[in-house]
Amino acid sequence: MGTKKITNASRLLALIALGGVLVTGVGAPAATAAGRAGAGSAAAVRLDRTCRPGSLDPAPMRQAIAGLPTATATSAQVRIVTTAGCWTGASGVADLRTGRPVPPDARFRIGSVTKVFTAAMVLQLAAEGRVDLDGPVRRYLPGLLPADYPTVTVRQLLNHTNGLPDPDLPAADNIEWQLAHRYDRWTPEQIVRTALRNPRLFEPGEKQRYSNMGPIVAGLLIERVTGHSYARELDRRIARPLGLRDTYAPGDDPTIRGRHVHGYQAVDRDGRTELVDATVWSQTFTPAAGNVISSTADLDAFLAALFAGRVVPQPQLEEMFTLPAVHDVDGGPAHYSAGLTAYPLPTGEVLWIKTGSRFGYLAAVAASRDGRFRLTYSVTSTDAKLDGRPPIVDAIIDAAFALR
């Protein structure tokens, strides 16, 4: 791949890392067709937690994550798999106070990468005949939406075409307010009630807009249909069967259990910048949408198994590689499937990705449809939710495309 292609890919993927997507010259039908074209080859992927470098030269990635901690990031963890081999590495410190290095397979908050797990569990329920993707949400969650609310289907929850409004917080863009309320506890029902005070964004099924609301309601659906908590179903359906040792939903627990990296948030106070430890933070405002904790090894193992059809049966798995035939709210093509994001490369290939951020943490997963190229990273950014991403994210992405 030439330098120009690498640069273009990095620019586009960087935009996705910020939470938005720029898709140039590729409509929804093209992306959908590209995703389906490689569906049969995923079965060749072998689930293996080991990481053997083979002929893969990790020098570009080692250089990309060197030099931490900096003012914008305190640590980085990367796992990359290509046809040449696999490499995993880390840099920086797990704790600024002690200077402790990043331990192997350190846990971190994965933010919106949680949505991939949620979508997978709903699709499992569909495969079991317990959920109809075209069925109305009120069939499974009676009383959650007002009686006169337009019909929202389960599929629309997963692919962001539901039109549900977002909840308003009094000072969500104020970091001091966020810090003061970091231990607040919310129930999913409270979040939905707060959101429904606002008008719906559009009629369900007419447009696409990325939001936490669909996955939050999907999490409630999982609990109602199974009779178990989201955390228990995540463990029973995905973590234990795949041997994911570091993946769990924390529920009301604001801490990260086991070995983990600390996240920090830069705060301007009295004319100077302070780094506030943001590790202990309630994630109850993003249940099933942004609350899960994991590691790079676990995320890679999950991604490999998912794309190979070992988590969701093939008929339902296609939902994760199919884009709805609608436009987004800005008039562009749809680019979100059930749990994933279609990312067209200049070469015509499509990568399927998901990024996530919580205060102190940035994470991402990306893979080709056949699963032979996979990238997972975690960066403890000092401004993960406010003014963008640290330069190291661009360096990681550039290195990944150079190795690809």
* Catalytic residue annotation: 112
> 360 and 254 in contact (C-beta within 8 Å)?
no
> 23 and 332 in contact (C-beta within 8 Å)?
yes
With CA atoms as reference, report the closest residue to 179 among 107, 65, 265. 265
Contacts of 205 (CB under 8 A, 6+ apart): 153, 156, 161, 163, 324, 326
Torsion angles phi and psi, residue 302, rounded to 5: -65, -45
Place of tokens 């993003």: 286
Place of tokens 């933010």: 111
Euclidean distance between CA atoms 319 and 161, whole angstroms: 14
Rounded to the nearest angstrom, the gap between the alpha carbon of residue 251 and the centroid of all alpha carbons in its chain is 18
**SS3 sequence, 160-226?**
CCCCCCCCCCCCCCCHHHHHHCCCCCCCHHHHHHHHCCCCCCCCCCCEECCCCHHHHHHHHHHHHHH
DSSP one-letter string for 324-382:
-SSEETTSSB--B-SS-EEEE-TTS-EEEEEEEEETTEEEEEEEETTSSSEEEEEEEET
Helix (H, G, I), strand (E, B) or coil at 231: helix
Euclidean distance between CA atoms 124 and 132, whole angstroms: 11
Euclidean distance between CA atoms 286 and 114, whole angstroms: 9
